[in-house]
Homo-oligomer: A and B are copies of this chain.
């Protein structure tokens, strides 16, 4: 069950679609261009391919284990985590001020993809630590930063996000965990949090919980939520660990996938109160949490790409090895490796096209993030921020939904062997299903896309993207190749469908919310399909140009074929989705409640 990091595709995206050389001209990222990317990715691939890949199936067989309040992770995880930290991988995207390496997200996201391809269960621990770092950087006091950031950025300590409670899943307004202020400015925290990823484990000596809670007397709903740091062990002035805090793991979940990643139920304050430190100001917790969540949502989208890539590679290997039946075109008189059968090709190409399309979209989004945070020009920052924020629900929602189809096809390519656990394809199918759920279900992403990202500016960002797509269509027509013309036609049909839907959404969001929200997820899927397809169209143009220059013929020709496949087999879904969103709202909500 090997894995080869797709470095060539990653660097192609960075260089030709995301403009990494422009990113590297931003002062904060000086010299962090294509060469740096290549070197970092190669180093990153080594660790992942040799250390983390072999532990992936092991983690499924020997999941994290709970006993007497302690969680023992899969054998080998602790040592691998140490190697991960020693290699400096936790610090990649974080500021040099606290010991980080300050790499752009454009490069860092590709490292995240590799890590998640290698071992998604393992990768969740660093991902959650990243979230905690982000929150502290954004809103933590100098004191909190000084106490926690270096240890988190080195990976010596890990972080968690504590949102969910038994009665409050997607609905944070329902959070009940309470915080009582103490005279010294700290708080005592009481409550139960569930679904806490790496909420307890044995890989690091301390765990820094970021916890949503209500200060006594706070307003109801989301406006009364504050964010607290609650460390597992208190930290002494000199940075050494002090007393055990009153937060305890009472159980971990028995899950369908990502079994090595412990999902904890945490009990706060059962023995007098857990000591918590306010992050930022009271009642602004949700705002800070959204900063963490936006980073985490992007990262989960990347997980979708990761697991799709892993499933694709496994399916390719199997279909080269497995000999079964003669080719339908009579080209061989004996049984052939199944990769010769057209339907196996269709499945592999579907997996490949989705994966490449979403990777390209995510890379472009990452570059926009980098520019939005670090570009010297304020207008450029603003434009990039709007673009990035529009893309986050697509990266999260579309890349994870497609990963369900891709991992399902991965099992399918294996036939009966795919259903046998030891084969490994089933694990990806089981693991992937969490991705459309955590960090906000696809419906939550779609609400974000409709509300904050489309409705709020009257569809302006959406239409701006459509205008850019129209430019790409013009470039395709200018190229004039059969592939470019076919792509242009599919892209045009999809873009026009998108514009119809944007008008529908903007017009109806307030007037007929049920009708608009009946099509929320289809709108997200349509838009993700289009934007990823647009990147494949841009890639096709680059590949044609590179091919003309005589560069990397096999890679460039494959990119063209994959883009064409995307146009013919994935973009073609879009007009039907428009019909269903624009004309089909009534039948979604019409059935009497008691008739279900």
Chain A: residues with CB nearer than 8 A to chain B? Answer: 164, 167-171, 173-174, 194-195, 253-257, 316, 320, 323-325, 328-330, 335, 339, 341-346, 348-349, 352, 404, 408, 411-412, 415-422, 426, 429-430, 433-434, 436-438, 441-443, 446-447, 486, 513-514, 517-522, 554-555, 557-558, 561-562, 564-565, 567-569, 572-577, 579-580, 583-584, 586-596
Quick one: given A568-B580, A591-B558, are A420 and B255 in contact (CB under 8 Å)?
A: yes
Quick one: given A558-B592, A592-B557, are A342 and B437 in contact (CB under 8 Å)?
A: no
Q: Which residue of B lies closest to A412 (CB)?
A: B436
A257 vs B565: C-alpha distance when bound (angstroms)? 33
A90 vs B514: C-alpha distance when bound (angstroms)? 48
User: In the complex, what's the smallest C-beta–C-beta distance from A48 to chain B, in angstroms?
Assistant: 21
Q: Which residue of B lies closest to A256 (CB)?
A: B426
| Chain B residue contacts of A568, Cβ below 8 A | 579-580, 583-584, 587
| Chain B residue contacts of A343, Cβ below 8 A | 443, 446, 517-518, 520-521
A352 vs B590: C-alpha distance when bound (angstroms)? 13
User: In the complex, what's the smallest C-beta–C-beta distance from A356 to chain B, in angstroms?
Assistant: 12
- List, sorted by A's number, 11 A–B pairs whose CB atoms are closer than 8 Å: A254-B420, A256-B430, A339-B593, A341-B443, A342-B518, A343-B446, A348-B596, A412-B436, A569-B584, A572-B580, A575-B576
Q: Which 4 A-B pairs have the closest CB atoms?
A: A568-B584, A565-B587, A256-B426, A343-B443
A441 touches B412 (CB 8 A): yes
Q: How many chain copies does the complex carry?
A: 2
User: In the complex, what's the smallest C-beta–C-beta distance from A109 to chain B, in angstroms?
Assistant: 24
Q: Say which residue of B171, B415, B430, B518 sits within 8 Å of A441 (CB atoms).
A: B415
B345 touches A589 (CB 8 A): yes
A325 touches B171 (CB 8 A): yes
Quick one: given A343-B517, A346-B588, A404-B408, are A325 and B170 in contact (CB under 8 Å)?
A: yes
Q: Say which residue of B328, B522, B596 sits within 8 Å of A514 (CB atoms).
A: B328
User: In the complex, what's the smallest C-beta–C-beta distance from A455 to chain B, in angstroms?
Assistant: 12
A588 vs B562: C-alpha distance when bound (angstroms)? 9
A342 vs B408: C-alpha distance when bound (angstroms)? 27
Q: Which residue of B lies closest to A195 (CB)?
A: B416
Describe A's contact surface by its main secondary structure: helix
A583 vs B493: C-alpha distance when bound (angstroms)? 15
| Chain B residue contacts of A256, Cβ below 8 A | 411, 419-421, 426, 429-430
With most chain B CB atoms within 10 A of its CB, the pick from A164, A170, A344, A443 is: A443
With most chain B CB atoms within 10 A of its CB, the pick from A419, A438, A513 is: A419
| Chain B residue contacts of A433, Cβ below 8 A | 408, 411, 418-419, 426, 429
User: In the complex, what's the smallest C-beta–C-beta distance from A582 to chain B, in angstroms?
Assistant: 10
B517 touches A554 (CB 8 A): no
A591 touches B345 (CB 8 A): yes
Knowing that A426-B433, A554-B595 are A-B contacts, what are 4 other residue pairs whose CB atoms are under 8 Å apart, sorted by A's residue number?
A: A255-B420, A342-B518, A348-B596, A568-B583
Quick one: given A416-B169, A514-B329, A590-B561, are A596 and B422 in contact (CB under 8 Å)?
A: no
A574 vs B579: C-alpha distance when bound (angstroms)? 12
B584 touches A255 (CB 8 A): no
| Chain B residue contacts of A437, Cβ below 8 A | 411-412, 415-416, 418-419
| Chain B residue contacts of A579, Cβ below 8 A | 568, 572
